[in-house]
Structure 1
Amino acid sequence: MTGIVNDAGNAATYAYDASGNISSVARGNAAVSILGFSPGSGAVGSNVTISGCGFSATPSQNTVQINGAAGTVISASSTQLVVQVPAAATNGPISVTSPSGSATSSASFAVTQSSAPLIGGFSPTIGTPGTAVSVSGSNFQTTVNENSLVFNTRTALLSAATATSLTTAVPTFSTSGRLAVTTPFGQTTSSQDFYVPPGAHVVSDVAVTGRMAIGSSQTVSLTTAGKIGLILFDGTAGQRVGLQTTSSSFGSCGTGSLQILGPGGSSLGSTALCNGNYLTAVTLPTTATYTILVAPIGTMTGSVTFTLYDVPADAAATIVPGGSAVTLTTTTPGQSEVLTFSGTSTQRVSLTLSEDSGLGSDCTYISIANPDGTFLVPSTLLCSRNYYSNVLTLPATGTYTIKLRPYGTNKGSGTFTLYNVARRRDGDDCPWWPRDHADHHGSRAGRVSDLQWICGPARKPHHESGQHSLVLLVDFEARRYGPLSLRGLWEQYIRRATDLASDWHIYHPPCALR
C-alpha cells in the first residue's frame, strides 16, 4: 500500500525502508494527491498507471508530466490515470494537474532504454506451409502478442517468444521472401530469404535458389531431372516487368516454363524455356517479393539465362482523323504504342501504319477499341512493316484507342496516319472504287488486292493537286505489302505497282484521272 484517501479528502502517503517497513507517513488534505504509480520504470511508448485522488474523469482535463515532459493521457477516472511515456521523458517525478489542483509524486519514474528488434537468422531456411521455424535475434518482446512476424506478406502465428528467439510455423499461402519482425520499439527485416516451394512441390524438388534485381540477368542450371529453381526479386505495386530467355540449352519450347509467381502463389504469367521467348509486360499487384519459377517438365535438364526488364509506361499520344501523322517510339521490350482519338457515331475513318526496321523486326498485334471497351478492330497479328485497316464506320461517339503491341522483344518506331474518309455523294464523279472490278493485273497470277480512293477536296483529281492519295494493298502468300501512296496519274500508279516484285491486281477507277 502506498497511500489512502478517506471520504473527507484526507490523504496519507506511506514510505518504506529497504526491509519493507513503513519509515514515514505523510498526511495532507490536498484536492489532488498522487499515491503511487506502476510500473516504476518503463520505455518510451509504454504505459504507466497513476493512482491518487482529485483527477478528472475526462482525459483531456488532466496534464501529466514525467520530469517535465508531457505524456498522453489514455484513460482517466477520479482516482486513476493511464499515461503513455513521452519520447522526451527522463528520470524524475511524475506530476498531475487537473481542474482540482496539482500534485507531484515523491518517488521518481525511471525511463528505460529499448531498441528495435534484430533478426540474426532462422532455421530452417526453406519449408512448406506448416513447417516449424525458429527465428533468432535480439530485442524481441517476451510477451508473444507484442511481436509480429511476417513471411513476405503473410503474418505468422507465434507459439513462443523470448528476448532472443521466436517460434512459429510457415503460414498458409506463404511465398518466398524475407522475414520481418515488428515490436512496439521498431521493425526489422532479415537479410536472407526464406524459400517456400510453390504448389505441390516439396523441399527436395528445389535445386537452385537465388535473388536478382529488375534490369539484370540470371542463369539457372538444373542438371537433375525433376528439379526446379526459385529466383526472387522485389517489386512495387503498379510496376511493369517483362521476362525474356536470352540463352537456353533446353532445346524445344515444350521442355518447360518460366513463371512469375505473385504473393499468395498465383501465376502472373509464363513463357517457355526455349531461347528467345518473351513474357510480355506484367503489372505487379502489390509491393512485395516475387518468385520466378524455373520448371522443366519430365526428365528435361539444362541451363537457361533470362533477363528481367523494367518496362516503362507505353508510348502514348493522341491522333486526329484527317490530321497529321503521329510517330511513337518504344525503347524497352514489352512497351506498346497507344493512340487515342475522338470520333462520332457513323463517322468513317481508315488507319495506315508504317513500322521502322526495329519495330518491324518481328510481328506485332494491332487493335482498335471502341469507347465501351469492345473492339472495332480485334487484335490482329501483323507480320509485315505496313498495315491498312480498310474503311471503318465508328459505332458510337466517344474516345477510341489504337494499340500496337509487339509480339516479342522488338522495339522501335511506328508512324500512324488516321484518315477522315468522306462519304460518297450522288453525282460525285469520283466515288469509291468497287472491289469487284479488276482491270489491271501483274504478269503472274496473284491474289486480288484492296484498292481504295482516299478522298480529298470535292474536285476532280489531277496529277498536280497533291490533295489525293491512292492506297494499294497487295496480298501475297498471306503477307501484306503496302500501303503504297501515289499522287498523280494512273499511269504512274501502274508503274509503281510493278515495283512490288510480287503478284498484284489493281482496280480500274470509274472516273478519269486527268
Structure 2
Amino acid sequence: MVVGVLTVNPVFALTPAPDFDADGVEDLADICPFTPDPGQEDTDLNGVGNACEPFCLPTFGDVSGNGVTDIVDAQCTILTSLWALAAMFDPPPSCLAVAPEQADADCSGDVAVTDVLLVIGVALGSQPGPDLDADFDGCPDTCQTTLTDSDDDGVPDGFDNCPTVPNAAQNDVDDDSTGDVCDGCPLDPTKTSLGVCGCGIADDDADEDGLADCVDACDDTVPVIATPGGPSVAVPMSAGSPGCVAFTAAANQRLSILMISNLGECLEITVLDPAGEPLFGPELSCSAPSFTDLLVAANAGTYQLHMVPSNAATGNITVTVFDVPPDANHGGILGGPTVPVSLLVPAQNGAVQFEAAAGTRAAFRSVASPTKCTRYSLLAPNGTALIGPVLECSSEYFTDLVVLTQPGTYTLLLDPHNEATSSYTVQGFIVPEDDVELAGAFGTTSQLTLTVPSQNGFIEFAASAGDRISVLSQASPTICRTFSILSPSGITIVPPALVCSGTQFIDTVVVPETGIYSIFIDPKGAAITTENTTVFLVPDDVIETTTPGSSAVVLPLLVPGLDGFVEFEGSVGQRISITATRSPNGCTRFGLTGPLGTVFAPQLTCGAYFVDSMTLPATGIYTLSVDQHDQYAGTHTITVFDVPSDIVQGATIGGPSVGLTTTVPGQNGFVTFSGTAGAQIGIVASHVPGGCINHRLFNPSGTTLFGPQLACGTLTTATLTLPETGTYSFAVDGSGTYVGTTTVSVLAK
C-alpha cells in the first residue's frame, strides 16, 4: 500500500488514507479492501470478510453468473487478470457478477494466468486435476481454507508488501512495492538491497566487464579479457591511462599473473576482487618481468588486474594469467630412489616428505632441469624450519649433513623463484658415520672410501712434537673437497683448503705436540670418492756449499716437501750465472738472497733452469733456495759459474770476419766497427757448435738499429742503412747455457 509520496531531501507529505472499494472503511482497516463491505462481517473470525471469503462458486469459474462456465467466463477472467496486473487502479471489469477476489479460481491470492487456464479448461469440458482438487468435489482444495498470512500481521501474503516480516501498516516510503521493514534501501526506489555499491548508487557496469563501476579501477577503460590457464594477452598502454585485464575465477581458484613489459618503466600493480577489494597490491614492481606469485580467489566472480606505469609511457604489456594446480606433494624414502617433482606452472610449489627416526643422519639433494633459481626449506615434523629458506640458482642444491632429532615426517619444500618452472629430481640419503682410517708408517698409503653424499673421512697418524710432515692425497673420481689437519688437542694446524683437482699436496708442516693427528677430508656437495692418502716424514732441509766457477753440487731431495739450499761466497761486482737440472723432471721454485736481502724472488720453473749473467751487489754469503713444487721429489744438480768479462772484437765494414769465443754460460760478445751516416751494410753471423743466439745492433747513440733477433742457425741481415756516424756495436748473446764460437762478418752494400 502507498502511504506517502517521496519529495526532495527527502521530505514526506501524508495523503488521505485510500478506500479502494468506497465502502467507508479505509483499506488498511478493511477486511475486504476490494469488495464493498461496510458491515465488515467475518463469520469465521479469520480476518477475511464474508464478502470476499475465498470459496468456490456454485458453478466453478462462472464469474459472469449465467449458470454455466463458458467462453464468456474465460474472457471475463482474462479481463480481471489484466485488471489485477494493472495494480487495480481502475474499477473491476463490468462482466463480473461476483467479487473480484472470486475470479481467483485456484485461490492463490492473485487473479492470474493460471486462473484463466483453469476456466478455459472447464469451459472446454475438463475438470481440475487431483493436484488442485484432491477430493474431486469440484472445488480446489486451497479455496476450502483461509488465505495464508505467513507473518500474522493481518495482511494476506498475496497483498502483503513484506510477507515474511510483520508490518500491518504496510509502510513503503520509496514506493517500490517492498515494505520498509524488509527493504535494504528504504529510501532508494531502485534498490531493495545494498548490492555492490550500496544504497543510492546504482550497480552500473559501463564497460560490461562484470565489475560494477563503483569498484572498477578501470571503469573508463575497456579491459582486455584473459582466461586463467589460457593464452597470453597483449595490453596496449597509452600515455596517462592504466592497463586493465579482467578475468573470471572460481571460488578458491589458485592463480598467478606474469607481466612482460616493453615500457622500460616501473609498474604499480593491483589485483582487485569482485567486490573491488585488493587481492594483491598495490605494489611497485621495477623488475622485468613482473610476477604476483600465488593468489587465491576467495570468491567466484570477475577479478581485475590494474597496471599503472611510473611515467606516462606507451607500449605493450603481455599478460598471462595462470591457473595454478595444487602444490605437487610426493613421498620419498631416505636411502631410496630419486623422486621426480614437476613444477610446470609459475607459482606452483612442491614438497617431498621423508619418514625418519630420531637421531638419523641425513642429507638431501635436488637437481633442477632446466637450471632455475629455487628456494629450498627443510621442515621438521613440528613444522619448524631446520634449513632455509635458501635461494639456490645453480642446478644442484645439497643440504650437507643434517642430524634429525625428532621422529616423524620431514619435508623438503621446493619454491621456484618468481615465474620459474622446472622439473626436479629429489633424493634423501642416510649418511653413515664418518670413515676413520689409521695410517701406518710414514710413507705408506691409507684409503678412505666415502660412498654416501655428506659422509666425511679422517686419516689418523701418530707424530712427535717437532716432526716435519707433508701429505699427498689423490681422489678417484676427481671431486671438490676440503682438507685440514687437527692436532691431538683439537687445534687446527692446517686450515681447511678447497681443492677441486685429483691431487692435493700439503707442504711441510712442523707438528707442535706428540699424539694422534687427524687429516679431515670433507667432500663438497653430493660428491663421493675414494681417497688415497700418504703422510711423509720430512727430514731436515739439505744445505750444500759451493764456489762460483767450481764443479756442480747435488741436492738429493727425495721426499715430497723436502727443500734444499746452495750457499756460496761472492764479491761485490762479481759476475755469476747459475744452471740447475732435475731428475726426474718436475717443477721447482728457485730464489736468491744475499747480504743485502732478496736478489730475486722465488720463480717457478718446470724445465731446465738458468740464471743469466748478473752482477753481485755486495760481498758476502749468497743462498740459492730450491723449493720442490707440490708432491715433486728428485735430485737437483746446481752449478754456479764465475762469468768473465764479455768479449769485444773490432771489425771493419767490408773487412775480414772476426771470431767471438765464449767459455762460460752467461758470457756475451760484441763486434764493434766504425760507420758513416748513410752507409749501407749487412751482417752475417754463424755459430759453432750450433745453438740459439740473440743478436742486436746498437747505434753510436746507444739506440737499437737491428734486433733483438733470435737465430738458431746462421744469421744474415737485410741491408741496413746507418743513421749516424760513429762506432756501432753488434751484440752476440748466447741463449740459456750456450757457449761456443760465433764468426761475424760486416759486409758493405
Range into which the TM-score falls when normalised by the shorter chain: 0.5 to 0.7
Q: Distance in 2 between matches of 1:276 and 1:441?
A: 39
Match of 1:230 among 224, 240, 244: 244
* 2:141 match: 95
Contact kept, 8 Å, 1:156 with 1:169, in 2: the verdict is: no
1:367 is displaced (CA, Å) by: 0.9
Query: Counterpart of 1:484?
Result: 527
Contact 1:471-1:484 at 8 Å conserved across structures: no
Partner of 2:111: 41
Letter in 1 for 2:140: I
| CA positional deviation for 1:238 | 2.4
Residue 302 of structure 1 deviates from its aligned partner by 3.6
What residue identity is the alignment partner of 1:306? V
Q: How far has the Cα of 1:384 moved from its partner?
A: 0.3
**Closer, same or farther in 2 for the Cα pair 1:335/1:19, shift >3 Å?**
closer
**What's the RMSD between the two structures over aligned residues?**
5.2
Tell me the residue number matched to 1:511: none
Supply the distance in 2 between the matched residues of 1:228 and 1:157 (Cα, whole angstroms).
Answer: 37
Shift of the 422–257 alpha-carbon distance from structure 1 to 2, 3 Å rule, reads: same
| Structure 1 CA distance for aligned equivalents of residues 423 and 286 of structure 2 | 29
1:510 — aligned with what? none
Deviating more after overlay: 370-379 vs 12-21: 12-21
Once the two structures are TM-superposed, the CA of residue 402 in structure 1 deviates from its matched residue by 1.0
* Alignment correspondent of 2:562: none
Alignment of structure 1 residues 294-333 onto 2, 5 Å: 294-333=307-346
Matching residue of 1:240: 254
SS of corresponding position for 2:413: strand
Query: Which residue identity is paired with 1:403?
Result: L
Alpha-carbon spacing, 1:410–1:332, altered in 2? closer, same or farther (3 Å):
same
**Residues 1:5 and 1:236: Cα distance change in structure 2 (over 3 Å):** same
Q: Is the 8 A contact 2:456 2:522 kept in 1?
A: no
- Comparing 15-24 with 313-322, greater Cα deviation is found at 15-24
Q: Structure 1 residues 39 and 417 mapped into 2: Cα distance closer, same or farther (>3 Å)?
A: closer
**C-alpha distance in structure 2 between counterparts of 1:35 and 1:277, whole Å:** 68
Q: Which has the larger radius of gyration?
A: 2
Matched, 1:441 2:503: no
Does structure 2 conserve the Cα–Cα contact (< 8 Å) formed by 1:160 and 1:167?
no
Q: How many angstroms apart in 2 are the aligned matches of 1:23 and 1:178?
A: 47
Q: Distance in 1 between matches of 2:366 and 2:522?
A: 12
Write the distance in 2 (CA, Å) between the matches of 1:177 and 1:403. Answer: 45
CA offset at residue 296 of structure 1?
Answer: 1.6
**Correspondences of 1:328-407 after superposition (within 5 Å):** 328-357=341-370, 360=371, 362-407=372-417
Residue 177 of structure 2 corresponds to 143
Answer whether contact 1:258 1:273 (CA < 8 A) is retained: no
Name which of structure 1's ranges 384-393 and 280-289 shifts more when overlaid on structure 2. Answer: 280-289
Deviations 1:160-205 (A, max 9, x none): 25xxx999886269xx9997xxxxxxxxxx9653454769x796xx
Q: Aligned partners of 1:399, 1:192: CA distance in 2, in Å?
A: 47
Of the three residues 268, 272, 278, the one matched with 1:257 is: 268
Q: Deviations over 1:34-69 (max 9, x none)?
A: 99956243589xxxxxxxxxxxxxxxxxxxx97532
| In structure 2, C-alpha distance between the alignment counterparts of 1:425 and 1:291, rounded to whole Å | 61
AA in 1 matched with 2:273: G
CA distance in 1 between counterparts of 2:365 and 2:208 reads 53
**Where do residues 278-289 of structure 1 align in structure 2 (5 Å cutoff)?**
278-289=291-302
> How many angstroms apart in 2 are the aligned matches of 1:288 and 1:294?
20
2:236 aligned with 1:221, yes or no? yes
Hey, what's the Cα distance between the residues in 1 that align with 2:427 and 2:302?
Answer: 43
* Equivalent pair of 2:374/2:391 in contact (CA under 8 Å): yes
**1:472 matched to 2:472:** no
One-letter amino acid of the structure 1 residue matched with residue 320 of structure 2: T
Gapped runs of 5+ residues in structure 2? 1-31, 36-40, 58-62, 66-92, 115-126, 148-157, 159-174, 439-447, 450-454, 459-481, 486-495, 505-520, 534-749
Secondary structure at 2:457's aligned position in 1? coil
Match 2:419 to one of 394, 404, 409:
409
Supply the distance in 1 between the matched residues of 2:132 and 2:98 (Cα, whole angstroms).
Answer: 31
Aligned partner of 1:171 in structure 2 is: 197
What amino acid sits opposite 1:268 in the alignment? Answer: F
**Which amino acid is 2:272 matched to?**
L
Partner of residue 54, structure 1: none
- Higher RCO, Cα 8 Å, sep 6+: 1
Amino acid at match of 1:143: S
> Structure 1 383/287 Cα, relative in aligned 2: closer, same or farther at 3 Å?
same
Q: So what's the TM-score if we normalise by structure 2?
A: 0.38
* Unpaired runs of at least 5, structure 1: 25-33, 45-64, 72-87, 106-111, 113-140, 150-154, 180-189, 447-469, 474-481, 492-514
Letter in 2 for 1:222: M
Distance 1:289 1:104 in 2: 48
CA distance in 2, matches of 1:178, 1:420: 64
SS of the residue 1:41 aligns to: coil
Query: Counterparts of 1:424 and 1:192 in 2: how far apart (Å)?
Result: 66
Structure 1 residue 259: Cα displacement? 2.9
Shift of 1:103: 8.6
1:307-347 deviation line (CA, Å, top 9, x unaligned):
11112222221111122221222222222221111223332
How far apart are the structure 2 equivalents of 1:318 and 1:23? 81
* Matches of 1:249 and 1:231, distance apart in 2: 17
Deviation at residue 386 of structure 1 after TM alignment: 0.8
Deviation at 1:353, TM superposition (A): 1.6
Q: Is the Cα contact below 8 Å between 1:346 and 1:394 reproduced in 2?
A: yes
Deviations 1:71-126 (A, max 9, x none): 9xxxxxxxxxxxxxxxx9xxx942259xxxx7999xxxxxx9xxxxxxxxxxxxxx
Counterpart residue type for residue 221 of structure 1: P
Cα distance in 2 for residues equivalent to 1:202 and 1:394: 53
Distance 2:437 2:357 in 1: 26
Is 2:279 the partner of 1:267? Answer: yes
User: Is the Cα contact below 8 Å between 1:348 and 1:422 reproduced in 2?
Assistant: yes
Which residue of 2 is the match for residue 68 of structure 1? 130
Q: Does 1:293 align with 2:317?
A: no
Give the whole-Å Cα distance in 2 for the aligned partners of 1:284 and 1:169: 20
Of 221, 224, 228, the residue aligned with 1:210 is 224
Q: Is the 8 A contact 2:324 2:347 kept in 1?
A: yes
* 8 Å CA contact retained: 1:178, 1:192: no
Does the CA contact (< 8 Å) of 1:208 and 1:229 recur in 2? no
Shift of 1:376: 1.0
The alpha-carbon distance between structure 1 residues 232 and 177, as it changes in their structure 2 partners (threshold 3 A), is: farther
Alpha carbons of structure 1 residues 41 and 313: separation in structure 2 relative to 1, 3 Å: same
Aligned to 1:419: 429
**Residues 347 and 418, structure 2, Cα contact 8 Å, conserved in 1:** yes
Letter aligned with residue 324 of structure 1: P
CA contact (8 A) 2:209 2:302 kept: no
| Counterparts of 1:369 and 1:251, CA distance in 2 | 40
User: Do 2:197 and 2:203's aligned partners in 1 also have CA atoms closer than 8 Å?
Assistant: no
| Secondary structure at 2:390 match in 1 | strand
Q: CA deviation at 1:398?
A: 2.4
What is the TM-score of this pair, normalised by structure 1? Answer: 0.53
Counterpart secondary structure, 2:210: strand
1:220 partner letter:
V
- Structure-2 change in CA distance of 1:232 and 1:104 (3 Å): closer
